[in-house]
Amino acid sequence: ETGVTQTPRHLVMGMTNKKSLKCEQHLGHNAMYWYKQSAKKPLELMFVYSLEERVENNSVPSRFSPECPNSSHLFLHLHTLQPEDSALYLCASSQDYLRDAGHSPLHFGNGTRLTVT
């Protein structure tokens, strides 16, 4: 059983739709992340939240809008997506964003498989 839960597991949406991806972590962590995993490409870090504040936005188009209402929940709001946005979206959490990597490993969810038609 994973400590990081993502819903939905699969999502198909048209380019004019608005949808949201949800991530919840039950580990008491302070940092949460959105990654995009496309075929034959390395995982791409999209956003990082630390203590509910966005600390990184890696040149992600504005059609992706993250929200972190509290340290346990993270959303990714989607609107007017393009077919090339089809990918697996992975959420992760870690104890502390600012502590060194050895003390704060990432825990991942099972991802949401997004298909944009």
Partner 1 sequence: AQTVTQSQPEMSVQEAETVTLSCTYDTSESDYYLFWYKQPPSRQMILVIRQEAYKQQNATENRFSVNFQKAAKSFSLKISDSQLGDAAMYFCAYRSAYGGSQGNLIFGKGTKLSVKP
Whether residue 37 contacts residue 90, with contact meaning beta carbons closer than 8 Å, is answered with yes
3-state secondary structure 30-51: CEEEEEEECCCCCCEEEEEEEC
Nearer to partner 1 among residue 69 and residue 102 (C-beta): 102
Please tell me whether residue 32 binds partner 1 under the rule CB under 8 A.
Answer: no
86 burial (CB, 10 Å; 0-12 / 13-18 / 19+) is middle
Please tell me whether residue 60 binds partner 1 under the rule CB under 8 A.
Answer: no
Q: Which of 11, 21, 46, 48 binds partner 1 (CB under 8 A)?
A: 48
Identify residue 59 by its one-letter amino acid code.
S
What residues contact 59, with CB distance under 8 A and at least 6 apart?
none
CB of 57 to partner 1, least distance (A): 11
Instruction: With CA atoms as reference, report the closest residue to 51 among 92, 108, 98.
Output: 98
CB of 16 to partner 1, least distance (A): 27
CB of 102 to partner 1, least distance (A): 6
Nearer to partner 1 among residue 79 and residue 113 (C-beta): 113
Which structure tokens are listed for 13?
């949406």
CB of 45 to partner 1, least distance (A): 5
Q: List contacts with partner 1 (CB under 8 A).
A: 2, 40-43, 45, 48, 55-56, 88, 90, 92, 96-102, 104-106, 108-111, 113
